Amino acid sequence: MTRIAAGLATRAGAATAAAEAASQAAAELDEASVDLAFLFLTPQHLDEAAGAASAVRRRLRPRCLLGCVAEGVIGREREIESGPAAVVWAASLPGAGLTPFHATPLGEAETPELAGAPSIGDPQLVILLVDPFTSPAAGLLGRLDRDHPGVPVVGGIATGGGRPGGQALVLDGDVHDRGTIGVAVEGVRVQTTVSQGCAPIGRESVITRAEGNVVYELAGMPALERLRETIAGLGPRERALAVRGILAGLVIDENKPEYGRRDFLMRGILGADEDTGAIAVGEEVRVGQTLRFHARDAASADEDLSLALAAALDGLGGSPAGALLFTCNGRGTNLFAVPDHDSGSVSSALARSAVAGFFCGGEIGPVGGRSFLHGFTATVAVFGAEP
């Protein structure tokens, strides 16, 4: 049976904090052997990441250890957005196959070849921890989608280093300052979900003219005119949400009679051209694709996360053992009126099973059968107790 535990310590010394968090996890596991472990550190522990990793390896002796430094960390129903902290997530996964890897870009192209890109079998899940300055996450996601279509990928961009060469990516006994580390996991029961946290505004429209990431027409109307028409038709509450920023929701899988929350990929509106009536969005689009405008909203984010977790648990088909949570650094107390919102919601939905993760500068998760890099989302991988 799969067993998962998490520990959190807020001590100033990295090695001491990591050892304490690892001991908490070990106690919850009743000293069961650990197959996969994660170590998440706050920026105060950056210079001592190697010592923290060694402390976790000594205490837990995991088959595979991954870790990173993030702006904030999540563990044991808490979200630490400031101050020193170390979180350890430890899983006993009997019979699971684990393929760890460290990928770095070759060359300066937008989607360069990757040294160390994984050669994996038939995984149920791939987890990525990404340095924002030295790793093209989109390129690696594209390769994984090409080589392993339909395999869910979760993770996030770890921005705790704050500068090129300033990250600490832990992979077993090594600490890297660039690239992407990850692990492909086979032989486990897992469900993934992405909570977008947006409220739809206006109605769905089909893209009738576009090129690259520029939408010229929606349903035969100039895209900018359609956007203005949408805003003009909003009620007071929706208009207040729109003031905070409007996103373009793009349907990825059109083979459905109607679209729900998790069928849309959210992308920012990058600009507009008054002369042509075009709008530019943060993703390439295609003619015939459905687009609906959305706005960020804490109430919608709360509801959406609850629904997403319920769907993941329903798909799991058994009791949960624990989860990994990758949430945007624009959420937390930047979005919600109370602290520990996402961690508390996930932990409560999973009957207080172990939850750990970090605040990301971009989250990775699947939408419409493909995995993307997101913003302002909460991405969750829920592991089942039974393989």
Residue 98 has pLDDT above 90, yes or no: yes
Which has the closest alpha carbon to 82: 351, 339, 277, 342?
339
Give every CB contact of residue 208 below 8 A, 6+ residues apart in sequence. 217, 218, 219, 220, 287
Output the CA torsion sign for 44, 380, 375, 329. negative
Q: Give per-residue pLDDT as tens, 290-338.
A: 999 999 888 989 999 999 999 999 999 889 999 999 999 999 999 999 9
Coil/strand/helix, residue 181: strand
Name which residue leads in pLDDT, 104 or 180.
180
Say what the pLDDT of residue 254 is: 82
pLDDT recorded at residue 114? 55
pLDDT of residue 112: 44
Of 242, 262, 240, 243, the closest CA to residue 196 belongs to 262
Backbone φ and ψ of 298, nearest 5°: -60, -40
State mean pLDDT over 186-209: 93
Instruction: For residues 64-82, give the mean pLDDT.
Output: 96
User: Of 155-159, 193-197, 321-325, which range is least confident?
Assistant: 193-197
Q: Which domains does the chain have, with CATH numbers?
A: 3-195+301-384 (no CATH), 198-296 (2.40.30)
Instruction: Name which residue leads in pLDDT, 111 or 3.
Output: 3
Neighbours of 220 (CB within 10 A): 10
How many whole angstroms separate alpha carbon 131 and alpha carbon 123?
23
- State yes or no: pLDDT of 60 exceeds 90: yes
Q: Which of 266, 109, 121 is nearest to 198 (CA)?
A: 266
* Mean pLDDT of the 94-115 span: 73
| Beta-carbon contacts of residue 49 (< 8 Å; ≥ 6 apart) | 14, 41, 67, 69, 168, 170, 175
The pLDDT of 93-106, averaged and rounded, is 88
Does 15 have pLDDT greater than 50? yes
pLDDT digits (tens, 9 = 90+) for 325-358: 999 999 999 999 999 999 999 999 998 889 999 9
Per the prediction, the chain carries an average pLDDT of: 91
pTM of the prediction? 0.91
Confidence of residue 116 (pLDDT cuts 50, 70, 90): low
Residues 6+ apart with CB under 8 A from 50: 168, 175
pLDDT the model gives residue 89: 98
User: Which residues lie across from 40 on neighbouring strands?
Assistant: 68, 87
Q: How confident is the model at residue 106 (pLDDT cuts 50, 70, 90)?
A: low
Query: For residue range 19-57, what is the model confidence (pLDDT) as tens digits?
Result: 999 999 999 999 899 999 999 999 999 999 999 999 999
**Could you tell me what percent of the chain has a pLDDT over 70?**
96
* DSSP per-residue letters across 338-379: STTHHHHHHHHHTTT-EEEEEEESSEEEEETTEEEEESS-EE
